[in-house]
Amino acid sequence: SANQPLKQAVILSAQYGINVFVLGLVLMLAGTFHRAGVTQEHILAYLSTLMAIQLAWMLWYFSGRHGKRVLLTEKDEHAGPRWLRGGLTLFATLSLVLDMFKIGYYVGYSSCLTAVKGVYPAIHAVHTLSQVYFLWFHAKDIIQAFQMIGRFGMIHSVFTNLLLWVNSIIAESKHQLNDHKKRLAGHGFANLTMEKAGPNCSCTIHVCAAFYKASYYMYPFSIEYHVLASAMLYIMWKNVGRKLEHRSPQKLVFKTRPNILPGPVLGAAVFATTIGILVVYSLQAGHSKDHRLSAVTMFYLYSMIVLGLMSAASTTGLVIYRIDKRSMDYSKNPTRKLDGQLLASTACASWLLSWCSVLAAVSAQSRPHSTWLSLPLSTLAIVEKSVQNMFIVESLHRKQDDGEEEAGRLKGTSDRPGTSPPRCGIVNKTLEGVERQLCCAAAPPQSPEDRSSSVCSEQLPSPRAAGSFPPASFRQTGNLHKTRVILKNIAAFLFLCNISFWILPAFGAWPQFDNGLEENVYGFEAWILIVNLAMPFAIFYRMHASSALFEVFCAI
């Protein structure tokens, strides 16, 4: 019966969070379209208030944790893995750089900007620092005491981050739209109204323009940072008051071997080409119409090749799964469930764009040069995402065949004890003491809590350790080993390709605006609305697929 008010808190807190979010959304939409007298200042004030509340809550949480007021009995080992927290920290750092740019910009124009334009980035910087600290050390916490306050604080944080995400997206979309309008204006469409850039006074520190320009290269990172943070906070919210079934979790260890070469190499080649394509595209798209269309054609041909390779790789992975059957792990795991749902739901946005392109390509009256490529490309994009989602979700659910591996591993060590180099994670019964020392020295320091517990003894019985033996010692498990090498190559290749397809739209290559096809068919305004609504989710899909593929790579 003590459970009742807590279950109520789930609904109550969720409804509170949704309403905070909806109000923010209404404010932002009104501000964007200059309605209802809402200005940028109102929005920033609202966001700053929300961040201040979250800061107060986190302070309460920290003080409770250190004063042992918030009792912790368990940790969810699936939540907030180290690589995810690492990614979060990276993005947060670049987000801090963005805050510095904004503060610098405010200092330059301080005579004619309202105070909130300076207060907002300062609060945001403090908020970012505290939140990264919070997530780095507490992402696995399962709150058992003061659940009510825990739930409300957590859901408040989730929706605050989502609102900050929406705010960044709107800023980024406005920027993309202005770029697009500038290009159109260069080609003679002069009747478009431009957003006025910059305040009414002159800059006092001479680098305002540089700050302004540079900040747009940081927005994509800020966007991803807020989404990652809200996903991790959502998992913490789901975990409040949860009772865990006790199972020893699999530690995921990042490990490469000489066999895993073709995938990463091919992926790196794709990645390098992508950077080249992005630079060429950005330069070409600003020129005349012919230049722009040839850039689009290049972009389409390149995308088709890569998407084709990705589809082939995912399909190969699925075929291997059909041959190499394993039992599946369907135990409760909020992190994995959210992963799958996010993949499917954000893919919807790209599917919407793709289907719009298909319809436009089929029905277009006047066909630009690149139209004949648009139809197969869109179809390929739809297929690729479907196959890739299936590959990722099945990979995350597969169980490791621990028994089979254990046998192979022990056989290998007893056959030739000398050939195994003393690497971290390898168990050699006779050398165990020495190796544990080495392992402890080599293991990167985690959080203070983690270090005090037995990191090494946990890592030692890892089944994945077998992977670092030379393949010659795997006579019995050779087939298993080969399968795993192929799968690891596939995951690495897909990972790098997804990163590439994240970089392209995140840094401004939006051929949807430049190909001149959909814009003619649906009309300028309608198409801009559709793209600006769907694109952020399509971009997030690529980032999220990359992080999931990284996990797959470690888990295989």
Size of the site for its own copies (CB under 8 A): 55
Q: Which residues of 45-80 are buried (b: 16+ CB within 10 A; e: fewer)?
A: bbbbebbebbbebbebbbebbeeeebeeeebbbbbb
Return the number of the residue (196 or 325) whose C-beta is nearest its own copies.
325
Return the number of the residue (101 or 237) whose C-beta is nearest its own copies.
237
State yes or no: residue 22 binds its own copies (CB under 8 A). yes
Site for its own copies in 395-414 (CB under 8 A): 397
Return the number of the residue (249 or 523) whose C-beta is nearest its own copies.
523
What angle (nearest 5°) sits at the alpha carbon of residue 66, between those of residues 65 and 72? 35
Return the number of the residue (208 or 528) whose C-beta is nearest its own copies.
528
**Looking at 18-26, 100-108, 299-307, 429-437, which segment touches its own copies (CB under 8 A)?**
18-26
Q: Minimal CA–CA distance to 209: which of 194, 218, 198, 222?
A: 198
Question: How far apart are the C-alpha atoms of 389 and 407, rounded to whole Å?
Answer: 33
What angle (nearest 5°) sits at the alpha carbon of residue 510, between those of residues 383 and 365? 75
State yes or no: residue 11 binds its own copies (CB under 8 A). yes
Return the number of the residue (135 or 556) whose C-beta is nearest its own copies.
556
Contacts of 554 (CB under 8 A, 6+ apart): 83, 252, 253, 254, 255
The CB-of-390 to its own copies minimum distance in angstroms stands at: 5
Beta bridge partners, 75, equal 141
Burial class (CB in 10 A: 0-12, 13-18, 19+), 404: middle
Among 284, 370, 371, 389, binds its own copies (CB under 8 A): 389
Return the number of the residue (17 or 467) whose C-beta is nearest its own copies.
17
**Looking at 235-243, 252-260, 384-392, 459-467, which segment touches its own copies (CB under 8 A)?**
384-392
Site for its own copies in 132-191 (CB under 8 A): none
How many CA atoms, within 13 angstroms, populate the side-chain half-sphere of residue 9?
A: 20
398: helix, coil or strand? Answer: strand
State yes or no: residue 200 binds its own copies (CB under 8 A). no
Site for its own copies in 39-98 (CB under 8 A): none
State yes or no: residue 372 binds its own copies (CB under 8 A). no
Strands 72-75 and 141-143: antiparallel
**Looking at 3-11, 60-68, 264-272, 403-411, which segment touches its own copies (CB under 8 A)?**
3-11
Binding mask 521-540 for its own copies (x = CB under 8 A): xxx--x--------------
Q: Minimal CA–CA distance to 333: which of 79, 513, 503?
A: 79
What angle (nearest 5°) sits at the alpha carbon of residue 352, between those of residues 286 and 161? 80
The CB-of-144 to its own copies minimum distance in angstroms stands at: 17
The CB-of-517 to its own copies minimum distance in angstroms stands at: 11
Q: What element of type H or E holds 143?
A: strand 141-143
Return the number of the residue (22 or 201) whose C-beta is nearest its own copies.
22
Site for its own copies in 265-324 (CB under 8 A): 318, 321-322
Task: Answer whether 164's CB lies under 8 Å from 228's CB.
Answer: no
State yes or no: residue 246 binds its own copies (CB under 8 A). no
* Tokens encoding 339: 């992963």
Beta bridge partners, 398, equal 328
Binding mask 484-523 for its own copies (x = CB under 8 A): -------------------------------------xxx
**Looking at 36-44, 143-151, 294-302, 461-469, which segment touches its own copies (CB under 8 A)?**
36-44
The CB-of-439 to its own copies minimum distance in angstroms stands at: 35
35: helix, coil or strand? Answer: coil
The CB-of-524 to its own copies minimum distance in angstroms stands at: 12
The sign of the torsion formed by the CA atoms of 68, 74, 77, 78 equals negative
The CB-of-195 to its own copies minimum distance in angstroms stands at: 18
Instruction: Please provide the DSSP assignment of 68-117 as one string.
Output: T-S-EEEE-TTSS-HHHHHHHHHHHHHHHHHHHHHHHHHHHTTTTS-THH
**Looking at 32-40, 97-105, 132-140, 462-470, which segment touches its own copies (CB under 8 A)?**
32-40
Among 144, 273, 316, 386, binds its own copies (CB under 8 A): 386
Contacts of 55 (CB under 8 A, 6+ apart): 123, 126, 127, 130
State yes or no: residue 359 binds its own copies (CB under 8 A). yes
| Conformation bin of residue 527: beta by default, left when phi > 0, alpha when psi is -120 to 50 | alpha
| 198 DSSP 8-state letter | S
Among 363, 433, 441, 452, binds its own copies (CB under 8 A): 363
| 242 DSSP 8-state letter | P
Question: How far apart are the C-alpha atoms of 69 and 65, rounded to whole Å?
Answer: 6
Among 41, 394, 401, 406, binds its own copies (CB under 8 A): 394
* Tokens encoding 268: 């790196």
Compute the CA torsion angle 325, 331, 332, 333 (nearest 10 deg). -50
154, amino acid identity: M
State yes or no: residue 355 binds its own copies (CB under 8 A). yes
Write down the number of H helices and E strands in the chain.
18, 2
Site for its own copies in 317-346 (CB under 8 A): 318, 321-322, 325-328, 340, 344
Return the number of the residue (41 or 394) whose C-beta is nearest its own copies.
394
Among 166, 278, 382, 424, binds its own copies (CB under 8 A): 382
**Looking at 195-203, 359-367, 410-418, 506-514, which segment touches its own copies (CB under 8 A)?**
359-367
Return the number of the residue (53 or 352) whose C-beta is nearest its own copies.
352
| 195 DSSP 8-state letter | P
State yes or no: residue 193 binds its own copies (CB under 8 A). no
Contact residues for its own copies (CB under 8 A)? Answer: 1, 3-5, 7-8, 11-12, 14-15, 18-19, 22-23, 25-27, 30, 33, 35-38, 318, 321-322, 325-328, 340, 344, 347-348, 351-352, 355-356, 358-360, 363-365, 382, 386, 389-390, 393-394, 397, 521-523, 526
